[in-house]
Amino acid sequence: MQRKRLTSENLKRWVDALIASERRVIAPVHEAGLTVFRPIQSSDEIAPNYTKSDLPFKEWLFPPTEVILCYRIEDGEPVLEDPEVDSTETVALFLRPCDAAAISILDKVFGGDYEDEFYLTRRRRLTIVGLSCTEPQPECFCTSVGLSPTSEQGSDVLLTRIGNDFLVEALTEKGEQLLNESADLFVDAGDLTKEQVTAEAVAKMRRPEPLPNFSDTYAEIFEHPVWEEVARKCLGCGVCAYSCPTCHCYDIVDEATLFEGVRCRNWDCCAFALFTLHASGHNPRPTQAHRYRQRVLHKFAYFLQTYGQNMCVGCGRCIIKCPVGMDIYEIVQRVGEQLAKV
Amino acid sequence: MAKEVKERNWEPKIVAFVCNWCTYVGADAAGTSRMQYAPNVRIIRFPCTGRIDPLFIIRAFQQGVDGVIVSGCHPGDCHYVSGNLLARRRWIVFRKFMDFIGLDLRRLHFAWVSATEGAKWAKLVNEIVEEVRSAGPAPAWAFPTNGATVLETSLPEVGLPPSPPVEMTAQIREIAKRLLGTGEVGVVVGYEMATGAREGEATPTFVNKPEDADRLVFNERCVHNLAVYLTNPLVKKFGKVGIVAKGCDIRSIVGLIQENQIKREDVSIIGVVCNGVVVNGKLAEKCVNCQVKVPHLYDHLVGDPSWAQSPSGENPLDAQIADLESLSPEERWNFWMPQFARCIRCYACRAVCPLCYCQPCIAEKHRPQWIPTSPHPHGNLAWNIIRAWHLAGRCIGCGECARACPVNIRLDLLNRKLALEVERAFGYRPGFDPSAPTPLSTYRPDDKEDFIR
């Protein structure tokens, strides 16, 4: 695979060339005091000094709400229609390695036993240009979940800033193709490597301890009082799940008037009491302790069992966004300590 | 072509919510008397205007009507004695609120029409149809893609509050140890300093053993309104709760007592003298002209009341509200729609609010689904309007909803606007008198308004 060098000026040219190529280019921009991923018309719109977006990229693959079925009554007969799925050829720019890795996790879910055509239609037309992290934030803990500030998982192309230039690595066929289209902007990488940048970024990580894996042991702590201790503070909102790049649970609702309607798929969150409430009134997860346990064990036990990987990329958004400062890194460590005592 | 014909032939579509005993009979009288009037109104009959939830009005607009009429018995004539008087209080506030959101008030009308006033009904409908016609087809409840209104007034630079004396922390620990040691309370809800990623911030904590009380702190980082935990089942199971509360938080506790969610004797309030807390790196807006720096209801007082600064200036939100009110309804609409467009329905606003205690919340009721759960225009508009509306006369302005919102929706402005209208109309400020009725659950026969026909 290609390894190239790109100057900062040529990076701008490359972005503008991508926009000119009639692709939709989605990049981090500042909007209403937030950093979010939005389609851009020019490289100038990209958020300067961008560290990490407030909301992850997932909304472009798995939107907060999406119509999955339309129906209407016509001349007394029901008519079903499939909605059109957005299939615009898209380039996602400057996803941090944690966010790119998160997409590879979503791929496992939506492209697994059941192939979700809505997600996959968009995903097939998406090329991801990752951007290595050089300034990990206080909440970051990617190295604790098996990733690194420069990890390649999920990216088609990975950019790493080295001095004033970027090391550009094509990691997939899609990535190769993207670079080939603008070959004149890149020069050979020569002996440029990201080893030093990686080492420096890793050294800045403030939370280096690996997080425990509960996939074989969770039964031993399933009923442990630690869940209630850690979850007492949790208010049961959905900020953590909705700002999480890997959370993918959804609810399905019908919205209809007398003669027509749609079936929508909306984000949902295991912290809500309604998430598991049965029609009978029984709730198998009756308290926030049960719900928070689900959140932790889904990410650090069940997903590992099924897919061999954590369902957490260590971006830390849930930590900075939580209104009461729930810290999943500390909580998972604490549960691990309790497990060691069992 | 078809669209042009449709536009040329446009006729206002109006829904009238009327009570069974007066206006419905009045409208019937107009019909049986063969009075002719505009055919644009569809009538929906209710037992009483007191049953007409403002949510119905929102739903009507969402379903595409151009105007709404709400009408019932004259004051004094209510079949249920006071349903219309309670309704009147709601209308006074709700109408101002919808104006603030950017609804053209030519589309929203209120009237008293008795069973004998068939002629008044016919005249009223004719007038209202013309008013709605002059307003034109109602705008779609959709998010504008461009042209968001930007507020000219920014929030003032207010610096940082003074740090509370460290003795206050020691006092809190002392009180907590005593309360837990004697078994007077089962748990103390207070603040501790966060570790890790949010080092330097305070975070809620729960102390149930005297020896753990040394975790407790109080300083200007103690932003959270801990009253939200008083209705939390995992906290309530400890029995009586001791709670560290600033003046603003105590106002929420008063609300919970007022609304029978907790009993005064089930909570031991450790009231702290407070000169303000830090949100987003500066003094929180609510603290600028705070009237309750010295707690007004407590069992234990922490800090020296003479340390409290006297309140200064106005609530900084009021200037922004005035700014919005100087704009046209359309401009206001274009301010709020992009705000609501960002909502992802995480319900953090609801979760942090001590007074959002309903189980289940109206947003979770789905037979029928009053508020669509989808984060699309209809769902987000209905949710954000109704969330604020349900706090009218109850919200004490702690600002937690706006602080918790991950997408920076100006929920604080919505809540403040409602608080201003309630105070203007009924002279009521929530959170002071635990025995007072909440303003929208009561009425006075002489409540003043100037818009009901």
Q: What is the mean pLDDT of chain B?
A: 94
Domains assigned to chain B: 12-135 (3.40.50.960), 167-307 (no CATH), 316-441 (no CATH)
Is A15 in the same domain as A108?
A: yes
Could you tell me which chain B residue has the CA closest to the CA of A59? B344
Contact of B352 with chain A, judged by CB distance below 8 Å, is answered with yes
Residue A72 domain flag = no
- What's the domain count of chain A? 2
Is A99 in the same domain as A175?
A: yes
Contact of A281 with chain B, judged by CB distance below 8 Å, is answered with no
The yes-or-no verdict on residue B235 having pLDDT over 80 is yes
User: A–B: how many Cβ contacts below 8 A?
Assistant: 130
Angle at which helix B83-101 crosses helix B411-426, to 10 degrees, equals: 140
Could you tell me which chain B residue has the CA closest to the CA of A263? B374
Which of A145, A173, A204 marks a domain boundary? A204
Pairing of strands A250-256, A187-188: unpaired
Local structure of A111: helix, strand or coil = strand
Residue in B194, B307, B292, B326 with CA at minimum distance from that of residue A325: B194
A 10 A CB-CB count for A146 gives 17
What's the pLDDT tens digit per position in B99-146? 999 999 999 999 999 999 999 999 999 999 999 999 999 988 777 666
Q: What is the mean pLDDT of chain A?
A: 95
The yes-or-no verdict on residue B2 having pLDDT over 70 is no
Contact of B377 with chain A, judged by CB distance below 8 Å, is answered with no
Shortest distance, CA A35 to any CA of chain B (angstroms):
10
Could you tell me which chain B residue has the CA closest to the CA of A333? B196
pLDDT value of residue B3: 54
CB contact under 8 A, B407 and A239: no
Cis peptide bond N-terminal to B368, omega within 30 = yes
Shortest distance, CA B110 to any CA of chain A (angstroms):
27
Is A162 in the same domain as A276?
A: no
Is A281 in the same domain as A194?
A: no
Could you tell me which chain B residue has the CA closest to the CA of A31? B407
Residue A74 domain flag = no
The yes-or-no verdict on residue A28 having pLDDT over 50 is yes
Is A161 in the same domain as A259?
A: no
Percentage of residues in chain A with pLDDT exceeding 70?
100
A144 touches A210 (CB < 8 A): yes
Pairing of strands A165-170, A3-7: antiparallel
Structural domain boundaries enclosing A280? 218-341
CB contact under 8 A, A237 and B233: no
Tokens of B238: 């400890």
Residue A73 domain flag = no
Contact of B198 with chain A, judged by CB distance below 8 Å, is answered with yes
Partners of A71 in beta bridges? A80, A261
With a CB-CB cutoff of 8 Å, which residues 384-423 of chain B face chain A?
400, 403-404, 406-408
Q: Closest to B196 (Cβ–Cβ): which among A228, A238, A330?
A: A330
Is A133 in the same domain as A234?
A: no
Q: Closest to B194 (Cβ–Cβ): which among A232, A288, A325?
A: A325
In the block, tokens 């301890």 appear at: A209
B147 touches B327 (CB < 8 A): no
What's the pLDDT tens digit per position in A233-276? 999 999 999 999 999 999 999 998 889 999 999 999 999 999 99
Is A148 in the same domain as A36?
A: yes
Strand positions, DSSP E, B208-299? 241-245, 267-272, 278-279, 282-283
CB contact under 8 A, B204 and A233: yes
What's the pLDDT tens digit per position in B40-78? 999 999 999 999 999 999 999 988 999 999 999 999 999
Pairing of strands A3-7, A187-188: antiparallel
Shortest distance, CA A231 to any CA of chain B (angstroms):
9
Is A11 in the same domain as A109?
A: yes
